[in-house]
Amino acid sequence: MLKLRSKQIVLPIAALLLISGTAFAQQPGMHEKGAEREGMHGCKMSEHKGMIPGLSEEQQEQIKTLRIKHMERMQSLRNQMAEKKARLRTLSTADKVNMTEINKVIDDIGAMQTQMMKLKEQHRQEIRKMLNDEQRVMFDAHQPMHDGPYHEGMRSGKKMH
Spans of all domains in the chain: 58-133
Local structure of residue 30 (DSSP, 8 states): S
Say what the pLDDT of residue 9 is. Answer: 73
Say what the pLDDT of residue 16 is. Answer: 62
Quickly name the fold that domain 58-133 has.
Four Helix Bundle (Hemerythrin (Met), subunit A) (1.20.120)
How many Å apart are CA 60 and CA 46, to the nearest integer? 9
Question: Residue 44: is its pLDDT beyond 60?
Answer: no
pLDDT mean across residues, the chain? 77
CA angle in degrees (0–180, nearest 5) for 76-80-82? 115
pTM for the predicted model, two decimal places: 0.59
